[in-house]
Structure 1
Amino acid sequence: MHRVSKFLLGLLACVGLLLSSASSRAEFRGADHLAGWWLSVDTVAFPPLWDAGMILAMEELLIIDGQGRFQSRMMMFTTPEASQCRDGSLCSDAQMLVQGSVAVSGGALTFSGLTSTSLTADGAETDRDIRARILPARARWQVEGEATAGTGIMRLRSEAGAAPRIFVKVDPDVLRRVRSGFTAQIISPAQHWRCYLGRVAGDPATTGRLDPDPAVRAYLRAASLAQTIASLRAPPATGQDASRGGTQARAPEHLMVEAHPALPAPATAVERRRLDIMSVILEQVRQGRTWEAATDMVRRAARPADIAIPLDEEARAAWQAVGQDAGLYERLFCHRP
């Protein structure tokens, strides 16, 4: 009997060690893969404020580095201008509100060492409401879900039974392209962004992925190029910045714009003119003209290099199709042109 008891105690100890080891591995795996960009896709925090017309449409974006430092940002659907930087208002297309440290332990996501910025995402009147709803406004969350090196989903509850905040791990450039595909069109983000997101990438809150449908990836490449050209054409920051005690004005931050190696920042008037001409062509095709017709409009005033837009044929065809096919446009943007 004594030998049986010793055997059982030894067995229980081994089981305990195995469970402890498995728990440690699971916890380490979650923390190890926490680094990356996490996009809010729930309807709990900010969509109700859009629907009520209280704030501009914006999505919460949590950016975590490999050392457990985070930035809490609001991804906007507008392009910041130098004049807004000068008066201390919107100076980024993904305005940072808070930064600090984040960790996963014991089934909980915790924030600490918070430092708030003086920036606002939608003006002083609504800043308090926005900051009260961002994830780091609460120090501890119950976490469900899992993350891998490339994908993941986090369901975060303030307490048992509470509606979850849901964040999906995204590739930064994929998110930039998806956003560009929407901002390339003149439509209301509050009314159409989430529907568009579903049409482009399925249901990220269920799949845990932001993976655009192959049929629209070509269009997104063209939209991303158009967004990059628009950001490069923006007037440079000049003058004094009132929010920085009259020091040199900051340049707007274009975090949500994909870098294109074929399009460096313009250094000369000739390079700026090239961007202007490419922008005209892209806009004319977006409005329904063919590439040939749009190019003919500017050919007399352009050099051959000016009209050599760095897009593959599939992307060109997709950009033109969205501009010409009202049914395709409506299916993609949940909106009639």
Structure 2
Amino acid sequence: MDSALVVGGTRFIGRHLVSDLVENGYDVTIFNRGNHENPFEGDESVRRIEGDRKDDGALRRAKAAAEPDAVFDCVAYQPKDVVSATEIFADVDAYVYISSGAAYGAEEIPKREGVTELCPCSDDQLTDDSSESYGPRKAEGDRVVFDAATRGVNAMSVRPTIVYGPYDYTERLDYWLNRVENYDRVVVPGDGTNIWHRAYVEDVASAMRVVAEEGEAGEAYNVGDRRVLTLEETVRTIADAMGTDVEVVHAGERELAAAGLSPDDFVLYREYPHVLDTNKLAALGWDSTPIEEAMARTVEEHRRSDRDGSEHDPGRDAEESVLSILDTL
């Protein structure tokens, strides 16, 4: 394969995917509405076609113009989007759909492809666009991929867990980056050992390419860092990447409640561990970036950006109250 069509391609995962494909010799066309700045403007190796992925006619025109060997679907948020794409791109060498670790409906450690139950998706959830229905919709998209494969479509899906890295518009990790950079003491809920598996964005991009090249039709592949960090380890890894020292202060539910907080007020906290098994993807020849290197790149871009994770901020005044309470114990 040497030509690719990326549906999306300018914000976060898609942006890194385009870069990965170009670096690996692909002729790349991106297809999107143009609502966001195109980081590849002026790059002759990346062609852009404007259109709405929900317009089947526009998708067909993009296919005719790009003549792709592989199609990467970064912005399929409703199952009907995947239905259309698997029909329109039925004859390409590979169609890769970005699903999510949120598609899993059972709490197991680790979550495994083909073993761990997926979320059901009700009729109401099929067309919903709320965060509550995100996992069910992604799971139903997976089922569309599986069904398409039975009809001879070379369709596959990748299931990343929480994605982080440069240009992350969700700013989930930026909250912790901001705290470490600006404060000597960082409040971490619980004992710091809670785990929410994450995936470095460049590795998600390479995973999509590897799955297109080496994956099997009708299969899903988990994506996540090969080394899983606890929340406290994450904070300390950030500090190391920033060349600073921080004191990690553990706060239990009682101390947090006294300041009007709960553990769930802290982004990337999860009471029950969320871990994906990535051995199936690794068997295709994929590997993840070492954690320290991934975090160093993330910190470098964070410092150039204006992101601070403030929308996830539980409030520094409340945190200071927690610290005062703990100092008196």
**TM-score over 0.5 for the pair:** no
TM-score by length of 2: 0.29
| Higher RCO (CA-CA < 8 Å; seq separation 6+) | 2
> Which structure has more helix as a fraction of its residues?
1
Q: Which structure has the greater CA radius of gyration?
A: 1
